Amino acid sequence: MKILISGFDPFGGEKINPAYEAVKRLPDSIMGAEIVKMEIPTVFHLAAEVLEEKVRQVDPDVILCIGQAGGRYGITPERVAINVDDAGIPDNEHKQPIDEKIKEDGPDAYFSSLPIKAMVEKMKEAKIPASISNSAGTFVCNHIMYQILYIIDKNYPDKTGGFIHCPFIPEQVVDKPNQPSMNLVDIVSGLEAGIEAIIERYGKEDVKEIGGTIH
């Protein structure tokens, strides 16, 4: 098995992005699966172009993107991506789309094809705070998740894909009072545990566990 894992470059005035910092530190092989790592730009559409080119090059079985979600306490596999760009801040090329469809011929939403409940379960077994997220936002993170699932739907039906958000790391919150963070070592451990669940459940249905929220 081959898993392509991407992480974004820094954005929004940050000097570091824990997503790619964690991706870089993942082992090259997990449970026998080859792990291919890459950085992608925090830029609408360009991120998808760069990622899809890599998909063509390495032909992975799984496409997984990692992004930063400042303000969250744990690692959060995303359940759904919606077909809209509505940027609260500009991307790294100063683009700020408002209420624009990502794909005119795409559905309103795509659901992750990864075993997100098994992933959360495995992360918690590794003593890493984790939960399912039901909103990936409307910035480049939601954008790339939607794009991943769109290209799988249209061109690569045998592949699976999805997205995981991770918190700030401590150095990012020194001047951000009351903002949660997670040590980079723990983020890496959580991602590795989630990837193990992807490998274990590959070709199988997700586990049936409570993962919803009230609001």
Task: Tell me which of 21, 141, 166, 196 is the catalytic residue.
Answer: 141
To the query of whether residue 165 is one of the catalytic residues in this protein, the response is: yes
Q: Are 124 and 137 in contact (CB under 8 A)?
A: no
Q: Are 190 and 126 in contact (CB under 8 A)?
A: yes
- Tokens for 142, please give them: 């939601």
* b/e map 172-199, b = 16+ CB within 10 Å: bbeeeeeeebbebebbbbbbbbbbbbbb
Task: Tell me which of 121, 165, 166, 192 is the catalytic residue.
Answer: 165
User: Angle at which helices 184-200 and 18-25 pack, to 10 degrees?
Assistant: 60
To the query of whether residue 104 is one of the catalytic residues in this protein, the response is: no
Task: Tell me which of 78, 121, 192, 196 is the catalytic residue.
Answer: 78
Sign of CA dihedral 45, 47, 50, 55: negative
Active site (catalytic) residues:
78, 141, 165
